[in-house]
Structure 1
Amino acid sequence: MRPTVTKAAVLRAFNAPLELTELPLPEELPAGAAIVRITRTTLCGTDAHLWQGVMPFVALPIVLGHEMAGEVVALGSPDERDAVGRPVVIGSRIVWSESVCGHCHGCAVLREPVLCVERGYGFAQRADQWPYVVGGLAEYVYVPPGAHRLVLADDMPDTWAASAGCAVKTVVRAFANAGGVEPGSTVVVQGAGPLGLVGTALARAAGAGQVITLGAPANRLDLAKAYGADTAIDVTAVPDADERVAMVEELTGARGADLVLDFAGAPSANREGVLMCGQRGTHVVVGLAGPHASAVPMDVVMSREIRVVGSLNGDVGDLARALRFLAAFSGRFDWDAMYGDPVGLAGADQAIKDMASMAAVKAVVDPGMEM
């Protein structure tokens, strides 16, 4: 008998404590839909920004959490398959992408589901309207038909799989959109949060000759070094952007970097990133700089023939590659060093605050733990 209600931690007001309550689950499941018991949710910087009200256009109440893995407990139809054709049955452990419509210009013409105009981001789903719960801070969630899913390998930890759902797949897509890493090249990673840390590891694994990571605080930079950064620049110790640009210039013998990836989203990041690029370098914009972003020097973009590339999250293909990356390099990088100890839903409020204050690198919630 499938559940009809779920415990959830609900955000009803920005910067306010999450409310532990029960929410209904959809009574009818259309073909392609599922109900999943969440086994792990990993929190993202976006969750903290949502809680803080940095994205005030989001309508409350909502259930936060868009990185999750879980076990299927109900299906809309008996013959379900994942994105690569494997059977999805009751008891399957899965991860899934944001839902897409399949028929808009982004989906059907560009063949880029990440550009779907109806993409089902979790924070767009109100917790007081059908289907109520798609966010990971709940015991059970509704997975809509358009959310492409992947069955997990038996040896893939739930925590790693959950983080692949946003942080890791976003990094994988950013490197792909950049055209990859040329062996021996210099890569600069802006940001030492989960994206920046995974980006540091991917740059090293892909054959970069020099990896420079910028961010804070110190414990994250220590982890960046463990993940392959040759140099870690503390942005709190070097608060002046032009001084950081000069440091990168010195580290590269005045040539500049071949690839700079913005995983920070700071107001100065894109100006700084372009200035760090050498001739024919590439700057990838992943972070959201906000309304007070510093102007990008277009004369530098032109004179150095710099490519500026946008990269948005990731689709199910990026998710599959993210899982493969985590598995393939599990012996080389200590992925578990990124994650905090799991807490139950009762600890979700503090977990969000820890992400906002950067006390946690990657907070982890197990909604099935006793509250």
Structure 2
Amino acid sequence: MTLPSTTRAAVLVEHGAPLELAELPLPAPEPGAVVVRIRCASLCGTDIEIWSGKMTFPGMLPMVLGHEMVGEVVAVGDGARDALGRALEIGDRIGWSESTCGECYGCVVLREPVHCSRRGYGFLQRSDAPPYATAGLADYAYVTPGAAKLTLPEVVKDTWASMAGCAAKTVLRAFERAGRIRPGATVAIQGSGALGVFATAVARIAGAGRVITIGAPASRLALARRFGADEVVDIADGDVVDRVLALTGGRGADTVFDFAGAPSVGPEAIGMAATRGTVVVVGSTGPAGDPFPLSAIMGKELTVVGSLNGDIADYARAIDFFAAFADRFDWDGLFSAPVGLAEASEKIAAMDRLAEVKAVIDPRLDAPPGPAASAPTPEGPRA
């Protein structure tokens, strides 16, 4: 196929406003870069926070949202390879993560790409400056040379691989940061969005004897039960800590994971954690939360751990996780039916009001006719 010189994209020009469909320039790939046709983009909570303006900074707009995505390579720059050294070719199905420099303290001394001081997020690229479209809500995306690319195995579906790019890798990194989940232990999951429900399943697979998922609305808590929760606690029904303690005979949870980020999460996590338990902070990305006494951490001898997103290693492990546990849970139940690019605004608004857990955009469903933007075949996306 001939590489188009422009791509249709859903552009955020104003927080809280509908996305605007626009034609953006599509550069030919420089050495190390590739251009992909987007097969699937799954919306993440961060996309919703950026759209609403809860997460913002001066000069970020206009931009193309979407940082969980899968694409098919349609053009390859000289020497382009995936993160494991495999040469990329036209037709390869790939996912990709943030770019890192490989030279800073975080990359070299800490050996933690997640702490790269020059970490580049494709979905924070302004859409009015080169290379324009580097995120998921577009027909085509430019994948920069430094972006960590992964060639995807056939067994992992597009939607699963897309979710692995942020939500799943974030959860798996948090479990690694938490340390060993003792077989039979009690795990409390704060939050019933995509991360919290997926974490519920991971806790069950990790050997937890009891999993308690805390959140709202009732539909999401029902989904959490499908993914392994033994008990659910609706935050609308009163004191969360008292109910978790009642469910655990007053002892509390051995490990508490914050995937919610509400101001009350901190004191609730400390209050519901068992003596010598572990609290893992993952979702508290916003303003400072409600205070809690440090003496409570001391008195219970708690371990409090922070966990930030995830890097290419976590991404690769998330792909391995879906391959290994493909039949363990109905992972497809996390996702809404895919829609075209023109309906992306509707899906963002639905997620903002908690009506959907994980919306999916497949730009091919409403792409303009023509060989360069053909729709998916009747049998659906390649698994």
SS at match of 2:98: coil
C-alpha distance in 2 between matches for 1:326 and 1:274: 31
- The within-5 A match list for 1:69-84 is 69-77=70-78, 79-84=79-84
Aligned to 2:370: none
Aligned to 1:230: 230
C-alpha distance in 2 between matches for 1:130 and 1:91: 24
C-alpha distance in 1 between matches for 2:310 and 2:288: 26
Q: Does 1:363 align with 2:359?
A: yes
C-alpha distance in 1 between matches for 2:192 and 2:202: 13
Aligned-pair CA distance for 1:127: 0.5
- The within-5 A match list for 1:63-212 is 63-77=64-78, 79-212=79-212
Aligned to 1:257: 253
Aligned-pair CA distance for 1:189: 0.3
Q: Is the 8 A contact 1:266 1:289 kept in 2?
A: no
Aligned-pair CA distance for 1:232: 0.6
Q: Does 1:308 align with 2:304?
A: yes
What letter matches 1:303 in structure 2? G
C-alpha distance in 1 between matches for 2:319 and 2:56: 32
Q: Is the 8 A contact 1:159 1:364 kept in 2?
A: yes
Q: What CA deviation, in whole Å up to 9, does each residue of 1:171-214 have, x standing for no partner?
A: 00000011131111110000000000110000000000110000
SS at match of 2:102: coil
TM-score normalised per structure 2: 0.93
Aligned-pair CA distance for 1:80: 3.3
Aligned to 1:339: 335
Aligned-pair CA distance for 1:259: 0.5
Q: Does 1:13 align with 2:9?
A: no
Q: What CA deviation, in whole Å up to 9, does each residue of 1:323-354 have, x standing for no partner?
A: 11122222120011110011111100101101
Aligned-pair CA distance for 1:237: 2.5
Q: Is the 8 A contact 1:274 1:297 kept in 2?
A: no
SS at match of 2:236: coil
What letter matches 1:106 in structure 2? G
Q: Which runs of 4+ in 1 moved over 2 A?
A: 84-87, 288-292
Q: Is the 8 A contact 1:269 1:289 kept in 2?
A: no
Q: Does 1:297 align with 2:293?
A: yes
CA RMSD of aligned residues (A): 1.3
- The within-5 A match list for 1:38-53 is 38-53=38-53
Q: Does 1:2 align with 2:11?
A: no
- The within-5 A match list for 1:215-226 is 215-226=215-226
How many residues in Structure 1 have an aligned counterpart in Structure 2? 365
Q: Is the 8 A contact 2:80 2:145 kept in 1?
A: no
Aligned to 2:274: 278
Ranges in structure 1 where 5+ consecutive residues have no aligned partner: none
Deviates more, 1:13-22 or 1:113-122: 113-122
What letter matches 2:342 in structure 1? A
What letter matches 2:140 in structure 1? Y
C-alpha distance in 2 between matches for 1:30 and 1:19: 28
C-alpha distance in 2 between matches for 1:8 and 1:68: 14
Q: Is the 8 A contact 1:255 1:279 kept in 2?
A: yes
Aligned-pair CA distance for 1:257: 1.1
Deviates more, 1:206-215 or 1:318-327: 318-327
Deviates more, 1:288-297 or 1:88-97: 288-297
C-alpha distance in 2 between matches for 1:347 and 1:18: 9
C-alpha distance in 2 between matches for 1:141 and 1:289: 27
Aligned-pair CA distance for 1:85: 2.9
Aligned-pair CA distance for 1:368: 1.3
Q: Is the 8 A contact 1:267 1:289 kept in 2?
A: no
Q: What CA deviation, in whole Å up to 9, does each residue of 1:222-245 have, x standing for no partner?
A: 11111110101111233xxxx211
SS at match of 1:47: helix
C-alpha distance in 2 between matches for 1:96 and 1:290: 26
Aligned-pair CA distance for 1:289: 5.3
Aligned-pair CA distance for 1:102: 0.9
Q: Is the 8 A contact 2:34 2:80 kept in 1?
A: no
C-alpha distance in 2 between matches for 1:296 and 1:160: 37
What letter matches 2:65 in structure 1? L
SS at match of 2:351: helix
Aligned-pair CA distance for 1:292: 4.8
